[in-house]
Structure 1
């Protein structure tokens, strides 16, 4: 079965996916979900390492590799590399997340490929960057979370650093790489030339620290853990009502006044301890204690209704099941259906951005390793006899 584009938006582009684990596959999934012909190149089954996410039939792998085709090539064989280069010659984009030295050793680095394919957009994702003192270190999401500063501002004060509950360094690096690829493809329309695009888990985390880095670079403040409360906007955080926890966000003086009135504490508006943001910061513990006393008089549903009706942001704290069953999430249609020939009906979260004219879908489930090898190689013009010989020689 030939390419089945998940959207018409990127269907004219072919992407060669040389990645494994999560950051790189996430990048390529972004492109596949918008219609690119993503061809995942993996080592043959008998040579594979532990490069899958919970096994090929596992939910993680199925989610990450949907909308792709898969071939196997033995890149330790000269003919495997030659075939890969032949495939790359038909492509617009190559994505890899080897350690920085590996692509040079294989002869598939950007400069080598661009000599014959000047329009190629070549994207690399690494742990710490393509050059520099740590470039050759192995990268891992939690290591980047720690080195990138995120764990120092996550968690409850005094209880030590805490990792974020998703692989946020991997995911952000993958999404940023996909964005970089799209920018490079747009620029290519003007210049006719491709370019080398690269990012890393560490760079993704440094960027994602956002206002915490500007607090230091512009104001000289080193952020620390603030737990479930916003570090600068008070009161904003997790509070306990009579029947459980909820989030409340109060930004700006007008919303502060609304909050006080809804909570039945209009006197706080003129109270010297709480009259402005710096004062509320100094007295945050006292203020939070007083807030929770009043919240304890009613259930969460009451406060969520009252605050939102009054223009103060407030919401439940949901687990994954509750989140997916939330009526607004269901209305947005983010959960998509697809049928796997092996595993049957599947449901997965789709793209969070909606393009009304060229929407993203899940056109096919994740492929088995090498499922499309002969199909893709035949597209390169290889005859069945040549394929049989390559198979016998362990090239795929």
Structure 2
């Protein structure tokens, strides 16, 4: 930090989660300055076994668990359950991603967590949520991508549907979980009470279907993959120039007029097929062919220079290594070095009070020696509700 108090300074988070969705949710809170205690079973987080590996450590695990402290507890052991209960009473937030009911069978259902600490904000991330006919079913990213409808609209034009190239089914609920925790902590300031937050991977993906869902709900259109092109707006996709593809995004009449001008195609503006964005969307294949004809003698650099100068949104199609080494990526600090030289990804939020330096993910049980001190702290006192004095403060 540059002398700025961390945004979540003083907030303690217990991270019982494994692999991706829960650890990412907790890491976001850690990056915002919360004290995050990662609690692993003696077997360790399964994410530690996901490659690639650097010096024997999982790079996947390190990405998701930086800035945390790490202890080992076996919640099947009575003594460790007692220690965990005492930690709950001394913490503000709990993050877990067990299947619904698992934490309850270990002795900590939502009601018991609330009894131990009425001010606790607990977030449970699961495949299908705590209610509904699929609540008990396990899920991975692939399953919720398939069942949410997202896979059915992702892939080459006309299908078949394919999985998004990152585990978006875990990432979206992790983001929702972090937002929900912040909202619940703010609400706690007014009510003095915590709550149990139910976050579902399935819900997360269904909720971000945006225009795809609106078309399915309000039209009879065949909702299917359209490759790199938008199903409604055009020209909006990737187009072949003389030496390869470029991305061009035109979603307004004003931008289309600029594109027609810079490519010297005034006839597009009087063509009834291209009068409005909706018209262009209905005739996107014809327009795509015409755009590529206009680009045929231009290199990608030419296209990007001309369109960029005209204010038409465009960009190169980069592979992952090109994107990670791009000057803008580096200028934004998106690729960072931890103190031991490990290269990693930063978060996407820039605010005063966020982490400027990253601590490596803890080794299994690395901070077990701190547990005794934590357990001798006074239990957390619920925040005073707005406008309500505590009994001990009243005359």
- Matched position secondary structure for 2:272: coil
TM-score w.r.t. length of structure 2: 0.90
Equivalent residue, structure 2, for 1:28: 26
Say whether the 8 Å CA contact 1:7–1:361 is kept in structure 2. Answer: no
- TM alignment of 1:357-368, pairs within 5 A: 357-368=352-363
Per the TM alignment, residue 371 of structure 1 is displaced from its structure 2 partner at its CA by 0.6
Per the TM alignment, residue 271 of structure 1 is displaced from its structure 2 partner at its CA by 1.6
Say whether the 8 Å CA contact 1:7–1:360 is kept in structure 2. Answer: no
Say whether the 8 Å CA contact 2:158–2:226 is kept in structure 1. Answer: no
The answer to whether structure 1 residue 370 and structure 2 residue 368 are counterparts is no
Q: 1:16 aligns with which of 14, 17, 30?
A: 14
- TM alignment of 1:8-157, pairs within 5 A: 8-44=6-42, 47-48=43-44, 50-54=46-50, 57-157=57-157
Question: In 2, distance between residues paired with 1:305 and 1:313?
Answer: 11
Say whether the 8 Å CA contact 1:21–1:53 is kept in structure 2. Answer: no
Say whether the 8 Å CA contact 2:66–2:362 is kept in structure 1. Answer: yes
Question: In 1, distance between residues paired with 2:270 and 2:303?
Answer: 23
Structure 1 runs (4+) deviating above 6 angstroms are none
Say whether the 8 Å CA contact 1:154–1:162 is kept in structure 2. Answer: yes
- Count of residues paired in the alignment: 371
- TM alignment of 1:140-219, pairs within 5 A: 140-219=140-219
Per the TM alignment, residue 338 of structure 1 is displaced from its structure 2 partner at its CA by 1.2
Deviations 1:339-380 (A, max 9, x none): 2xxxx311222121111x323234310111111112233332
Per the TM alignment, residue 51 of structure 1 is displaced from its structure 2 partner at its CA by 4.7
Per the TM alignment, residue 116 of structure 1 is displaced from its structure 2 partner at its CA by 2.9
Say whether the 8 Å CA contact 1:6–1:32 is kept in structure 2. Answer: no
Deviations 1:124-157 (A, max 9, x none): 0000011221111111001001111110110113
Question: In 1, distance between residues paired with 2:172 and 2:322?
Answer: 25
TM-score w.r.t. length of structure 1: 0.89
Question: In 1, distance between residues paired with 2:189 and 2:221?
Answer: 43
- Matched position secondary structure for 1:238: strand
Deviations 1:241-276 (A, max 9, x none): 111111001111111111011111111110223222
Question: In 1, distance between residues paired with 2:130 and 2:289?
Answer: 49
- Matched position secondary structure for 1:188: helix
Per the TM alignment, residue 108 of structure 1 is displaced from its structure 2 partner at its CA by 1.2
Per the TM alignment, residue 210 of structure 1 is displaced from its structure 2 partner at its CA by 1.6
After the TM superposition, which of the residue ranges 318-327 and 181-190 deviates more from structure 2?
318-327
Question: In 1, distance between residues paired with 2:47 and 2:269?
Answer: 57
The answer to whether structure 1 residue 255 and structure 2 residue 255 are counterparts is yes
Structure 1, unmatched stretches of 5+, are 383-396
Change (3 A) 1:282 1:189: closer
Per the TM alignment, residue 288 of structure 1 is displaced from its structure 2 partner at its CA by 1.1
Question: In 2, distance between residues paired with 1:377 and 1:23?
Answer: 29
Deviations 1:62-91 (A, max 9, x none): 111100011001111111111101111110
Equivalent residue, structure 1, for 2:330: 330
Change (3 A) 1:331 1:360: same
